[in-house]
Structure 1
Amino acid sequence: MMKPSIPTPSHLKPYHLCLLDQFFGLTYVPQVLFYQNNNPSKHDESQTNNGKSLVENDEIIMIITRLKESLSKTLSVFYPLVGRLTADESAIDCSDEGIAFIQARTNITLGEFLKSPNRVDELPQFIPGISTRIVSALEVVPLAIQVTVFGCGGLAVGSQYLHKIFDGASWGNFLNTWAAVANQGVDQKIVKPDFATAISLFPPCSWASKRSSKILTTRALLDGGNHEDEDDQTCVVKAFVFIPEAIAKLQAMAKSELVNNPTRIEALSAFIWKHAMAAAAAVAASSCKSNVNVIGPSVLIHSVNIRPRTNPPIPSTAIGNLIIHAYASYKELEENQPISDMDLKDLVAETRKGLSEAKDAEFLSKFKGENGAEAMRQYKQKVADISKDKNINTYKFTSWSKLDVLPNFGFIGMPVWIGFTGGKLSSLFKNLVTMIEIPASGGIEVWLILDEKEMSVLRTSEDFLVFASLTS
């Protein structure tokens, strides 16, 4: 257990969650950052057959020690992470109990791993495990870190953070603070997190805290699932790469009178939405032995970072779940109407319409202050009702493309690949889509969690593979 280097002052205890945090359950978000060895001449990959001497040499020990010491200092700045939730999940008791830190090693090289056709399926090995059998919120650990050393000296920094406390932008702040502390030490140059703004704009409400019945993690277990009900493990994770040229072509195809300048995320989201719907229709037709694929009603839900959208804008350093879920609807095609009639331009227009409302400062203003709780409850309930309707296929999108999740640890450089999760997952995470910016290339890697049969249809679709290539 990693403790903060400086105990949390008493005046900072407890840390109360803001209204937007309260609506989240106990779900964890995984991520793995892969770093290559900066001194390859010292560690010839051909000489690492057993890996032991390399993993335990002075240089590696120094790197791990530096990561741990800087992490401890960073936890003093991000003090809520080392505490524990209160029983009603409305606050964090900043008790300095610490976070889980795991050190692991593998004898294969980073190059061998990145060339593996099964690397997405192997990702859970680099993500720290979280117990899903906790019976009380008091036992929940907000963060776990795993550092894995490859046989070549490369590193994988895996993590799972509790979504109830952090959103993606908050996590980016944490990573970059950790990198800054590791490179320079704690001083005035390090931008401190803002823990006050979220709760001042969105004060908590006594009835809003979600009492969670279970712990959920999108890290698949190494045995192939993460759910007690074996019959529920029907989803798989695959990642697809969209190079900049493919994204630009989709943007051009998506232009219309309604949207003459579709963004990369809008065009890509609509394209994936279209083909995921088509895959679901194909599987449904096959199960009922029909020759006609019927696209049913569908909804796209997109997470939107509201920090730059409010008036005035919220500081980028503000910590909390400062996001709102925008949604776009698609009505089913008439029977015998070809799927080709599902136009990308129409889907982009619907996506833009949904995102525009969530990005409107006047719309967001009604959730602020003491009267914002009821408005937020109604909006959240509306989105939840859509998601729970079994007659509607719901696809949940989140984009990391504008989040600063590329920490530069100077002594190990920039990450060469960012992983999300892999393997088989519970159907609770079905139709989850995560978009991650690819370091250096400017492309986007899209991580899809779909029903196994639907994924099989999608990954063999010629129309889909014209623009996407399976990560391997």
Structure 2
Amino acid sequence: MEVQIISKEILKPSSSTPQHRSTYKLSVLDQLAPPLYIPIILFYSPHCENFCKKSDRLKESFSRTLTHFYPFAGRVKDDFSIDCNDDGAAFIEARVSGYMSMVIEQADINEHQQLLPCSPYAKISKLSTDQVTLAVQVNYFNCGGMAISICIWHAVADGSALATFVKSWAAITRDPNNVLDEVIYDCTTLFPPQDLSSFSLHNFVKEEVLSEIVTKRFLFDGSKVAALRDEVGNGPSLVRPTRFIAVSSLILSAMMTVTRENEAGQQISAATIAVDLRRRLKPPVPEQSIGNIFQVAIANWPESESNALNYNSLAGKLDESIRKMNDEYIRKFHAGGGYFNFIKRASFSSWCKFPFYEADFGWGKPIRLSPALQLNRVAIFLDTADGEGIEAWISLSKEDMVMFEQHPGIFTHASFSPSI
């Protein structure tokens, strides 16, 4: 696959941002967001509309959409705010040789990252004032297929906010008169910003570590997920796990086994789960709100118990950690300033039910998605196109990945391309 850039420009909002909205305040959840861009790639089947017409429509609707998401067209001002100065967002177009179907099927993270408008991994802990917070790349394959990739700086958006932007952009592309709901919500009263100068995330992503990590897609189709839910729910800890809990329990168990065997004396004694807070707060925050409105839930256990934990007991611990994330717990947690401790853990982020598959720009809904993100011991979950199954994009060291694939539960329930 060869990617050739054919145009690069900065697109500004179609209408100027009012003076009273010139500053977007960051909450403590925004401040704690990892220093990276969140990427997503949406793959679309060939469509008869010609290249020039598609390009013009996408650019015009992109500018219109930025008017509603004006912080995305701004620049990071400092640790506490975004300058909504309408400097614009990056819009790149590229020609791609080869067949899109092969790129989708092979699920090679390195190939997928070539379709992104920028590297997800910032070389610094925060953006400078001249770097874009949002970048898009529209990739036109020679076979007629198209992949739209978006990268958003994590401090201004979580996965849910990214999905809201993509869905809104698609809606305005289909109908320029489409009316969008308000997406700007001030979370600083709920989660006041803090002086976090002593709290460093500089080492969250190390490039020398990335070179040793392998990311693979594991597909759990709807029938396998249904069977897994029955298997995981067969016990006293949790009777009927969700799709997410069932698949997470299997993956976590496999990761724990691999760690025990490959890292002598080491045990995974915790798992973190990114939990969307929009519906959990009272009153609830509008679902379409931008920013980071999620909390990391932690399921943990004594290392001495690790060997005795089966799927059902792990499912119970994951479920319990999520269920306690109610309004009272969240407010007490932040009142005490109790962020989180980076212990030996596995991390899970579910993008299931985010409306990426609803992003119809006028030539049909996407046929496949890719998160194109590589973080060690992190599993990112996406819905399959039919909404029944789960795609788990899992990153592990090369040595761990070989053993992970051989775990009986993974081998039984997941489809994947084995390591050579």
Task: Return the TM-score normalized by structure 2.
Answer: 0.89
- For 1:366 and 1:231, locate their aligned partners in 2 and report how far apart those are by CA, in whole Å: 36
- CA 1:133/1:396 → structure 2, altered by over 3 Å: closer, same or farther? closer
- For 1:72 and 1:366, locate their aligned partners in 2 and report how far apart those are by CA, in whole Å: 40
* Alpha-carbon contact 1:259-1:348 (below 8 Å) kept: yes
Report the alpha carbon displacement of residue 342 of structure 1 after superposing the two structures with TM.
Answer: 3.3
Q: Please, what is the CA RMSD of the aligned residues? A: 2.5
- For 2:36 and 2:209, locate their aligned partners in 1 and report how far apart those are by CA, in whole Å: 21
Say which is worse superposed, 6-15 or 24-33, in terms of deviation: 24-33
* Alpha-carbon contact 1:297-1:330 (below 8 Å) kept: no
Report the alpha carbon displacement of residue 72 of structure 1 after superposing the two structures with TM.
Answer: 0.8
- For 1:432 and 1:417, locate their aligned partners in 2 and report how far apart those are by CA, in whole Å: 20
* Alpha-carbon contact 1:7-1:96 (below 8 Å) kept: yes
Match of 1:30 among 20, 39, 50: 39
- For 2:66 and 2:99, locate their aligned partners in 1 and report how far apart those are by CA, in whole Å: 30
Runs of 4+ in 1 over 4 A off after TM superposition: 133-136, 208-217
- CA 1:77/1:401 → structure 2, altered by over 3 Å: closer, same or farther? same
Q: Which residue of 1 aligns with 2:150?
A: 159
- Matching of residues 262-301 of structure 1 within 5 Å: 262-284=241-263, 296-301=267-272
SS state of the match for residue 64, structure 1?
Answer: helix
- CA 1:240/1:232 → structure 2, altered by over 3 Å: closer, same or farther? closer
* Alpha-carbon contact 1:4-1:75 (below 8 Å) kept: yes
Q: Which residue of 2 aligns with 1:438?
A: 384
Which amino acid is 2:237 matched to?
Answer: L
- Matching of residues 303-452 of structure 1 within 5 Å: 303-333=274-304, 341-358=308-325, 360-366=326-332, 372=334, 374-375=335-336, 377-378=337-338, 380=339, 383=340, 385=341, 387=342, 389=343, 393-421=344-372, 429-440=375-386, 442-452=388-398
- For 2:108 and 2:268, locate their aligned partners in 1 and report how far apart those are by CA, in whole Å: 34
Aligned length, in residue pairs = 406
Which amino acid is 1:23 matched to?
Answer: L
* Alpha-carbon contact 2:182-2:289 (below 8 Å) kept: no
- For 1:469 and 1:9, locate their aligned partners in 2 and report how far apart those are by CA, in whole Å: 51
- For 2:385 and 2:139, locate their aligned partners in 1 and report how far apart those are by CA, in whole Å: 20
Q: Which residue of 2 aligns with 1:91?
A: 81
* Alpha-carbon contact 2:36-2:122 (below 8 Å) kept: no
SS state of the match for residue 355, structure 2?
Answer: coil
Match of 1:108 among 95, 98, 105: 98
- For 1:149 and 1:215, locate their aligned partners in 2 and report how far apart those are by CA, in whole Å: 35
Q: Which residue of 2 aligns with 1:302?
A: 273
- For 1:353 and 1:441, locate their aligned partners in 2 and report how far apart those are by CA, in whole Å: 25
Report the alpha carbon displacement of residue 121 of structure 1 after superposing the two structures with TM.
Answer: 3.7
Which amino acid is 1:14 matched to?
Answer: T
Which amino acid is 1:350 matched to?
Answer: K
Report the alpha carbon displacement of residue 124 of structure 1 after superposing the two structures with TM.
Answer: 0.9
Match of 1:245 among 198, 201, 223: 223
Q: Which residue of 1 aligns with 2:195?
A: 207
SS state of the match for residue 312, structure 1?
Answer: coil
- CA 1:209/1:142 → structure 2, altered by over 3 Å: closer, same or farther? farther
Say which is worse superposed, 434-443 or 301-310, in terms of deviation: 434-443
- CA 1:247/1:295 → structure 2, altered by over 3 Å: closer, same or farther? farther
- CA 1:212/1:28 → structure 2, altered by over 3 Å: closer, same or farther? farther
Larger Rg over CA atoms:
1
- For residues 419-459 of structure 1, the C-alpha deviation after alignment (integer angstroms, 9 at most, x for no partner) is 1116xx5xxx3111100001125210001111110001112
Report the alpha carbon displacement of residue 86 of structure 1 after superposing the two structures with TM.
Answer: 1.2
SS state of the match for residue 52, structure 2?
Answer: helix
- For 1:330 and 1:308, locate their aligned partners in 2 and report how far apart those are by CA, in whole Å: 28
- For 2:201 and 2:256, locate their aligned partners in 1 and report how far apart those are by CA, in whole Å: 31
Report the alpha carbon displacement of residue 170 of structure 1 after superposing the two structures with TM.
Answer: 1.0
* Alpha-carbon contact 1:132-1:215 (below 8 Å) kept: no
SS state of the match for residue 380, structure 2?
Answer: strand
% identical aligned pairs = 28
Task: Return the TM-score normalized by structure 1.
Answer: 0.80
Q: 5+ residue gaps in structure 2?
A: 1-9
Q: 5+ residue gaps in structure 1?
A: 40-57, 218-225, 286-293
- For 1:470 and 1:333, locate their aligned partners in 2 and report how far apart those are by CA, in whole Å: 32
* Alpha-carbon contact 1:241-1:469 (below 8 Å) kept: yes
- For 2:215 and 2:99, locate their aligned partners in 1 and report how far apart those are by CA, in whole Å: 23
Q: Which residue of 1 aligns with 2:405?
A: 459
SS state of the match for residue 199, structure 1?
Answer: coil
- For 1:251 and 1:122, locate their aligned partners in 2 and report how far apart those are by CA, in whole Å: 33
* Alpha-carbon contact 1:24-1:210 (below 8 Å) kept: no
Report the alpha carbon displacement of residue 233 of structure 1 after superposing the two structures with TM.
Answer: 2.5
- For 2:75 and 2:200, locate their aligned partners in 1 and report how far apart those are by CA, in whole Å: 15
